[in-house]
Amino acid sequence: MGRITLLLGIHNHQPVGNFEHVFREAHDRCYRPFFDLLGEYPTLRVSLHYTGPLLDWLERHEPAFLDGLRKRVEQGQIELLTGGYYEPILASIPARDGAGQISMMTRHLKRRLGADPKGLWLAERVWEPSLPGLLGACGVDYTLVDDTHFEAVGLKPESLRGYYLTEREGTTLSIFPISKRLRYLIPFRPPEETIEYLGQLAGDDPVAITYADDGEKFGLWPGTYRWVYDQSASGGWLKRFFGLLEQNQSWITTKTFGEYRAQTPPTGRIYLPTGSYEEMMEWALPTEAILEREVLIGRLEASGLKETAAGFLRGGFWNHFLVKYPEINLMHKKAQYVSDKIALKEKASGRSRSKWLAEARQELYRAQGNDVYWHGLFGGYYLNYLRHAVYQHLIKAENLLDAHPSESSVRLTETDLDRDGLPEWLVETSRMNLYLKPSDGAAAIEIDYRPKAVCLTHLPMRRPEAYHRKLKMPPASSAQASEGIPSIHDRVVVKASAVNRKLVYDRHPRWSFRDHLFRSDTTLEQFETSQYEDLGGFSDQPYGTDAAESGREKAILSFSRTGRVEDQSLSVEKEYSLWASRAELAVKYTFRSPRLTPYVWAVELNLTLLAGADPKRYYRFPGKIVEDTQLRSAGVLEEVTEAHLVDEWQGIEIRLEFKPAARLWRFPIETISQSEEGMESNYQGSCLAALWPLAIPLEGNREGLITMAIVER
């Protein structure tokens, strides 16, 4: 019988901002049992990768685990891979930050775990041809990508063996191709099927094949714990698999990637295009393109051509997430903005090793973790606590850079923050950040309260997702097949929170101080379900910038727009005022029109305090009796002069005042989104709309004022 070398790589990751109980469950049901069972088979060789947030948690809560890991590294059973410490997509962040994150991880692995890593785990296997230069400069000799990347240049997965060499501007890098077939066999099919497949690949000439994937498959993914670690007499999947590898050592050898590379020449030379694994490339496509691709794949499968055509169905490009989700783009560009500010401070200080600069860089690195910058099978971008963590660390970095700001300091900047070719206005004080987008209704695209490092406005719009079609499918059976378990890629689960929920899609991103002109009979239900008529173009068309003034105590930005409705015109002036010495924002509207028709002016605010049903986060309406004050509640209140959003956990209140008194609509923003557990309804934040009737012509100039103050409890 021929021989084969099996190269096993396991990637273990928890994101910045994840809940403590998730780290604990992942350790107890996944990382610890895998590690302990591996110890019973000392002849097996495995390459492991642990990301920085997980290593930090283990250091705080399970240092003995790291002590045992170090011992296995010293014994040679385990090789550790480096990577960006907080698991960024390296191709999506500045090279200086990528190098900093890799160096941070490599130093930590050497110091704490006695490793000398030469291989790198590439986050989400997002490859760009420029990476050899960055990785080579960081002392990295090899990385791993999916066989999908190789298919894109015409190679067939079954022909891929060992590792290949690529280069960029003279810097070489070894690349191991990850077998998709093994990713779908391990651990979802009986281990005997993996051994049988290895037997098909084994030959007289040296053969090596790579398996590398998420460690969470081994106990944390739905349905996997019992399957992988069953304590019955026959043992779980992993014990059986390790036992089969040990029993077949006469023809199956396990090695670490570094060990194999040091002993074996490359299979050949390769140049790979930008890419990721197949599923990620699909998720990055626009929703309509995903649906069209699925139809095409179905037709190819029916005709028996799916496997032949697979290499020519590449899907999209990871960076398109920044187009598909404008809110992700804003987070990404905010991180770029903070990175640039740190670089300028370093340059001004001669790249000094000041403690505050190092702390600011680390806060930036934490905010670059990839999980929230994309969405597919995993919740990612739709998980509000992960978005909260990104903004929290970015604001903390800004606070460190402005460690000693003047109490009466206002910084006013005009810049193309989101890189769409149109300018935004950034107003920054020691208390608040206010980012305005004149080209989109002069809306506020970000409002931060800096003393608590809280972004109050990171809500996603409700938009079509390709998986929404599954809401109409029959529920998946929970029965476990005797011959295996379904991968989460194959499961169709609709959780109770999403059952019978009507899908609602928004017209615009959920910015704040977005303006609307309605007919007087428009209802809350119409507004909530996007069934309203928006008049005059005030909601999403450009406002002109009339004035931008900044003094020591106050910044004022004035915008204006004239809209036409049924041959009538309405001129609106919109003035933002932000104070340096207090966390207070005022937005004043001035209306002018020469003719008569009754309309309603509405100002939309979208705010998030993360939890919609938490008793410590709620509304308060002074002077009003309201039965349901949960942040996920909906309703209409008349003659409202004040509305407070209270967060006892974070110790803040958002106090809104309306002059004159306004009719107030409120409703929750909830998305039907997908995660490992299935489709579920997620509370993202709350929408409030303040309505003033406009009887036109106005007797003189009509004015409206909304004040937002952030108060600490």
Active site (catalytic) residues: 124, 214
- Helices 63-75, 52-61: inter-axial angle, 10-degree rounding: 120
Burial classification of residue 707, based on how many CB atoms lie within 10 Å of its CB (0-12 exposed, 13-18 middle, 19 or more buried): middle
CA-to-CA distance for 394 and 401, rounded, in angstroms? 11
Structure tokens at 144: 């791993």
Distance CA 593, CA 589 (A): 13
Q: Where are the alpha helices (DSSP H) in 612-705?
A: none
- Rounded Cα distance between 410 and 426, Å, is 10
Number of neighbouring beta carbons within 10 Å of residue 22: 13
What φ, ψ does residue 288 adopt, rounded to 5°? -60, -35
CA dihedral angle for residue 65, residue 69, residue 75, residue 80, rounded to 10 degrees? 170
CA distances from 384 to 19, 36, 379, 509, 682 (A): 12, 34, 9, 15, 9
CA distance 307 to 294: 14
Which tokens hold the place of 340?
A: 């640039």
Element (H, E) at 64: helix 63-75
89, 124 in Cβ contact below 8 A?
A: yes
Residue 370 · residue 88 · CB < 8 Å:
yes
Q: Are 166 and 289 within 8 A, CB to CB?
A: no
Contact predicate 379/674, CB 8 Å: yes
Distance of CA 682 to the CA centre of its chain: 15
Quick one: which of 367, 670, 412 has its CA closest to 528? 670
Q: For 520, phi and psi rounded to 5 degrees?
A: -65, -20
Element containing residue 107 per DSSP (H, E):
helix 95-113
CA 136-367-412 angle, 5° bins: 110
Q: Are 349 and 386 in contact (CB under 8 A)?
A: no
